[in-house]
A and B are shown apart, each in its own frame.
Chain A
Amino acid sequence: MSRDEGVSTRADMAEAQEAARQFAAILAATSQYKAFALARQQLQHDAEAQRAIQDFQRQQHYVQMTQMWGTVTEADVQELRRLHEALMRIPTVQEYVHSQEELARTCQAVAHIISEIIGTDFVPHRSGCCG
């Protein structure tokens, strides 16, 4: 790369980063993002929900470890399911999950539009169940 090309590429990048910031600002002003940000804040301040998240994560980690060691029991898995169900019954968690899904749909729609215009995937594909 020549010196001129290097300068041009850096200028290009700075401009594209600025365009990305402007795009993000408009995304942040949508009702979907605002609902998500509010739900996230409410979840962070909900002590009961935070305790339930910690309990679930602790058990999830334990099940993953015991699965690796081959010592996992049906009771461990049942307990994980019970904690997940308890977590999903908490209103702030429900609102967070719901608003995240709505925001994800919005992000997928805009990523699709951008990909069509640039002629390549704006966001890399995530593989499904089988890798």
Chain B
Amino acid sequence: MLDPRLEAAAREFGTRLAQTRPLRELHEAQEHLAADEGAQRLLAEWDQKQQELLDRQRTGRPITQAEIEDLRQLRAQVQNHPAVQAYQDREQQVQLYLADLLAVISEELEVDFMALSQAAEP
């Protein structure tokens, strides 16, 4: 059971963070990416092809060099798309921004807040 005062503080801190420029810009980039039909088409195609090849690999069916090359080219197209790039740039900025804030919390508590907050994924 979480201390109600702490829960309220976490909500307040989250709300203030959400209003900061890096987070606002990330969500704008996210919205632009979601609204960009060309980028969405590429991402869907990439997902589908990648899934298809992974399924074949899992079931022991052969994958040709041409198919791997095709997937590589598609990945390059996705990564070079302006809306995808803009989103990734913003995401990277937010990660740096949050890392700085996590360091402030750790310093105040004299404990590695990030390490404590990370629940290992199975």
Contact = CB atoms under 8 A, between A and B. Distances in A.
Interface residues of B, number: 44
A131 to B, nearest CB: 11
Contacts of A116: 14
Interface of B: 2-3, 5-7, 9-18, 20-23, 26-27, 30, 91, 94-95, 97-98, 100-102, 104-105, 108-109, 111, 113-114, 116-122
B100 to A, nearest CB: 7
A117 B91 CA distance: 16
B14 A120 contact: no
A114 B14 contact: yes
Contact of B108 (A16, A25, A126): A25
B22 to A, nearest CB: 8
Interface of A: 8-9, 12-13, 15-17, 19-33, 36, 100, 103-104, 106-111, 113-120, 122-129
Given A19-B12, A119-B26, 4 more contacts: A12-B22, A23-B9, A107-B113, A117-B18
Nearest to B26: A120
Contacts of B10: 23, 110, 113-114
Contacts of B12: 19, 23
Contacts of A111: 117
A106 B109 contact: no
B11 A113 contact: yes
Contacts of A127: 120-121
